[in-house]
């Protein structure tokens, strides 16, 4: 039987690290289409898949990390990664044996921070796929 997945069981790992304080991940997969029409198509457009676009948008609390937080990216790491358009091997999906995952390389596009006078500061991190993704499952 198919089962629903609770949100916190879906994780994004970039290299060996996760983004500290993550509250939500948005992941979009969109097939890239190539449109064509020839006289022989008699007015009907033809579509052909030409790869895939994948984008990530991660919402998180703005977190300071310490030296001991080796598995986490804090705000300093994120600002640097976006400024330099760093790339990282990503794994997105469940973490239990047999869970569906997507792997590949992602590029940091931007880091947007929000800080008001009362609440904890938050950050949104945008990334996109570079190259081709691999659809697989977590090894047992």
Partner 1 sequence: MILEAIGTILNPIVDNYPLVGDIEAAPPFAVFEVQQRPIMTKAGINGYSNTVFITAVDIKIPALMALSQSIKTAIEAAAGYTINGTTILAARFREENQRFDEQYQVNINQLEFMIYTNNI
Name the site residues for partner 1 (rule: CB under 8 A): 7-8, 11, 18, 21-25, 60-61, 118, 120
- Least separation in angstroms between residue 48's CB and partner 1 is 38
Q: From the CB of 41, what's the least distance to partner 1, in Å?
A: 48
Element (H, E) at 49: strand 46-61
Q: CB of 54 within 8 A of CB of 129? A: yes
Q: Which is nearer to partner 1, 22 or 111 (CB)?
A: 22
Query: Is 72 exposed, middle or buried, given 0-12, 13-18 or 19+ CB atoms closer than 10 A?
Result: middle
CB-wise, 30 or 116, nearer to partner 1? Answer: 116
Minimum CB distance to partner 1, residue 123 (Å): 12
Alpha carbons 30 and 47: distance in angstroms, whole number: 14
């Amino acid at each position: 039987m198919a089962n629903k997945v609770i949100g916190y069981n879906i994780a994004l790992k970039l290299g060996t690290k996760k983004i500290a304080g993550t509250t939500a991940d948005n992941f979009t997969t969109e097939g890239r289409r190539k449109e064509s029409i020839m006289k022989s198509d008699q007015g009907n457009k033809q579509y052909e898949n030409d790869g895939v676009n994948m984008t990530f948008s991660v919402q998180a609390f703005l977190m300071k990390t310490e030296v001991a937080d080796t598995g986490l990216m804090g705000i300093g790491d994120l600002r640097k990664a976006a400024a330099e358009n760093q790339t990282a091997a990503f794994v997105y999906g469940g973490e239990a044996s047999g869970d569906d995952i997507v792997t590949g390389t992602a590029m940091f596009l931007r880091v947007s921070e929000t800080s008001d006078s009362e609440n904890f500061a938050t950050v949104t991190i945008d990334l996109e796929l570079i190259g081709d993704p691999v659809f697989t499952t977590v090894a047992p």
